[in-house]
Amino acid sequence: MTALDQTPELLPLGIDGVLVRFATTLTEDANAHALGFRDLVQDMALVGVTEVASSLVSVRVGFDPAQTDRATVMGALRSLLEQHQTKDEGPRRLWRIPAAFGTDFAPQLGEVAGMAGLTPQQAITEIEATQVRVIAIGFAPGQPYLGMLPDHWNIPRQTELTKKLPRGALITAVRQLIIWAADAPTGWRHIGQTAFRVYRPETTQPFAFEPGDAVQFQAVSDTDFRAIKVNTDTNGGATCEVLR
């Protein structure tokens, strides 16, 4: 991993938290640093640290002020940042998730492919060929932001919001994909459909993804997809391979 072009900042985020911010704009490098640093801090199990969460470009380390204090946590994080600079072990897990891209399931695929200068088939091929990473989880519980697609996928959000999308919809904007989990409007465009549930509160492992996981989509026919969808035992036919 390359050194960052800006020094990470250690900033307060709440009375019980320190934010380590690797950049103020989204870059793949800053995101990789955030994901790697979250792993590192988590593995260190520092005294009094209660929670380690990463977002696109930063990591929040939550602590219990009764067990430690800000100065101690910041000191520990500074020395971890020195160790962290050269570390890149890649994703811990690889998910393979079937997705349908046919007319019934991908209402805006043609429009998006056009904006990216591709045919719909080329767009599907590129999605299948790109191993994306879970760069952040949020907005709705378990909902992954997956990136990054090639540069020509740098498509802005649409100005009109789509009011409702089916759960598992594959949507895109700004070189990213999302497997939709929320019951909320969005400006991202609907280009495919999975039967994958990112969040299952009723189970012992409610969240499918960890930040940093790799995801590869596998195109299936609409007919095959309908069959996958009715078989609720398999979580959309997805598989998860542990890489390290």
Partner 1 sequence: MPTLTIHKAGPGLTVQDLGRPGWKAQGLSTGGAADPLALLESAAVLGVKPSDAVIEMMGFGGTFSMDEDMRIALTGAVMQADIDGEAVAHNTTHVLPAGAKLIIRAASKGVYGYLRFAGGIATAPIMGSRATHLTAGIGKRLEAGDTLPLGSDPDPSGAPQKLPKTDRFAGGTIRIMPGPQTDFFRKEAQRAFCAAQFRRGQSGNRQGIKLEHKGNIFGTSSGLTHVSDLIVPGDIQITGAGVSYILLAECQTIGGYPRIGNVIPADLPKIAQAPPGTPLQFQFLTLAEADATATAQTDQLHALTKSCQPLIRDPHDIADLLGYQLISGATPGDDLERP
Selected from 4, 44, 48, 62, the binder of partner 1 by CB under 8 A is: 62
Answer whether 166's CB lies under 8 Å from 190's CB: no
Site residues (CB under 8 A) for partner 1, limited to 83-122: none
Stretch that binds partner 1, among 82-90, 108-116, 202-210, 223-231 (CB under 8 A): 202-210
Does 25 bind partner 1 (CB under 8 A)? Our answer is: yes
Answer whether 145's CB lies under 8 Å from 158's CB: no
Does 143 bind partner 1 (CB under 8 A)? Our answer is: yes
- Catalogue the E-assigned strands of 93-207: 93-100, 132-137, 144-147, 169-173, 176-179, 189-193
What does the alpha-carbon distance between residue 219 and residue 16 come to, in Å, rounded to a whole number?
44
Selected from 51, 88, 89, 241, the binder of partner 1 by CB under 8 A is: 51
Cβ neighbours around 108 below 10 Å, total: 17
Does 172 bind partner 1 (CB under 8 A)? Our answer is: no
Does 76 bind partner 1 (CB under 8 A)? Our answer is: no
Stretch that binds partner 1, among 53-61, 95-103, 188-196, 236-244 (CB under 8 A): 53-61
Instruction: Compute CA distances 172 → 115, 157, 169, whole Å.
Output: 12, 8, 10
Does 58 bind partner 1 (CB under 8 A)? Our answer is: yes
Residue 62 parent element (H or E): strand 58-63
Three-class secondary structure assignment of 63-79: ECCCCCCHHHHHHHHHH
What does the alpha-carbon distance between residue 101 and residue 123 come to, in Å, rounded to a whole number?
10
Nearest to 123 by CA among 107, 111, 135: 111
Selected from 8, 36, 142, 168, the binder of partner 1 by CB under 8 A is: 142
In terms of DSSP bridges, do strands 93-100 and 214-220 run parallel, antiparallel, or are they unpaired? Answer: parallel
Selected from 66, 151, 160, 230, the binder of partner 1 by CB under 8 A is: 66
Answer whether 213's CB lies under 8 Å from 206's CB: no
Does 46 bind partner 1 (CB under 8 A)? Our answer is: no
Q: Write the CB contacts of 104 (distance below 8 Å, at least 6 apart in sequence).
A: 222
Q: How far is the CB of 50 from partner 1 (least distance, A)?
A: 7
Pick 24 or 234: Cβ nearer partner 1: 24
Stretch that binds partner 1, among 58-66, 102-110, 156-164, 186-194 (CB under 8 A): 58-66
Does 81 bind partner 1 (CB under 8 A)? Our answer is: no
Selected from 1, 2, 14, 125, the binder of partner 1 by CB under 8 A is: 14
Q: How far is the CB of 160 from partner 1 (least distance, A)?
A: 18
Q: Which residues bind partner 1 (CB under 8 A)?
A: 9, 11-17, 19, 21, 23-26, 38, 50-58, 60, 62, 64-66, 69-70, 136-143, 199, 201-202, 206-207, 209-211
